Amino acid sequence: MANSITLIGAPVDSGKRRAGCLMGPDAYRTAGLDKALRDLGHEVTTGANLTPEAVALDAAPHLFGLAETVGWTRSLSAAAFAALQAASVPVFLGGDHSLSLGSVHGAARHAAQSGQPLFVLWLDAHSDFHTPQTTSSGNLHGTPMAYLTGQPGFDAFPAFEHPVPEANTCIIGLRSVDGPEHDMLTASGITYHDMRDIDENGIARPLSAFLDKVAQANGALHVSLDVDFLDPSVAPAVGTTVPGGATVREAHLVMEMVHDSGLMTSLDLVELNPMLDERGRTAQLMVDLAASAFGRRVFDRPTRSFL
């Protein structure tokens, strides 16, 4: 089934101190994301990269890039809402994971207006469940899950009028969670699966259970794919590498199952830092995973030679 897809460049680099994610959108374009999706029969709309709204805020010394991140949140929310209103699937080409503060905000607004519950699948080594008050690093790319589920402490950000119920969120791939996040996560209603769980039970079973839940609720599904969901041996271009991540085949299975479900309404591709890549292989893998989410099958995957 063909989709209308809107590729939205989001060169967000304010969510953490290590620069480089602002080059992510161009890396996805160079790796052929547009062509890969068109070759699957989809109608693809592309455009210039977004820019953040200008925001004036008092300084918050313990937080990095607060005003710029708030500006990005506003711009990204508006872009997500506009694409969804036009019956298109927005794909956000990041950009660090703080972009999800805005993409999910816009998706939640649209879902509420459409009368559908929003569900979020978070594919990440980290839970990103800090608030601006609990983060010790001050890096706001570690806060989106708290924001989208309506946790307190985000006074500088746009009000999240339609927070995603914790029971409507699922994190897969966890393997780096600090103390405060651990305490918040275990006390929450969020479903989460760390890599030991995946090693013992496989990745298909927990994902299938979550997708069934979305389908039974006639929900809309936002998928947020962080490069560090993958093992750094296959995806080195990320500033937050954590060994022991998903294999290439596990990641493709996840995206193929998402496609088969027919539930995905929006997608983030985040934390790609081309400065850390090896001959573009992480960008290419992320493009291939996005193609799997839109219908490419294992036997359809092109063979590439880098010789």
pLDDT tens for the chain, residues 1 to 307: 678 999 999 999 999 999 999 999 999 999 999 999 999 999 999 988 999 999 988 878 899 999 999 999 999 999 999 999 999 999 999 999 999 999 999 999 999 999 999 999 999 999 999 999 999 999 999 999 999 999 999 999 999 999 999 999 999 999 988 888 889 999 999 999 999 999 999 999 999 999 999 999 999 999 999 999 999 999 999 998 899 999 999 999 999 999 999 999 999 999 999 999 999 999 999 999 999 999 998 656 555 544 4
* CATH superfamily of the domain spanning 4-298: Ureohydrolase domain (3.40.800.10)
Our answer to whether residue 124 is catalytic in this structure is yes
Q: Which of 226, 231, 268, 277 is catalytic?
A: 226
User: Residue 174's CB: how many other CB atoms inside 10 A?
Assistant: 23
Our answer to whether residue 97 is catalytic in this structure is yes
- Residue 296's SS3 state is coil
Which residues are CB-contacts of 243 (< 8 A; sequence separation ≥ 6)?
231, 232, 233
Tell the residue number behind the tokens 């607004």, with chain if given.
109
Residue 36 near residue 292, CB atoms below 8 Å: no
Our answer to whether residue 126 is catalytic in this structure is yes
- Residue 305's SS3 state is coil
Q: Which of 42, 105, 126, 259 is catalytic?
A: 126
Q: Which of 128, 231, 250, 277 is catalytic?
A: 128
Q: Which of 42, 68, 96, 97 is catalytic?
A: 97
Residue 73 near residue 157, CB atoms below 8 Å: yes
Our answer to whether residue 250 is catalytic in this structure is no
**Helices (DSSP H) in the chain: which residue ranges?**
24-30, 33-39, 66-85, 100-114, 144-148, 179-186, 195-201, 204-216, 248-261, 281-293
Q: Which of 13, 96, 124, 250 is catalytic?
A: 124
For the record, the structure tokens of 7 come out as 């590729």
Our answer to whether residue 200 is catalytic in this structure is no
Residue 60 near residue 143, CB atoms below 8 Å: no
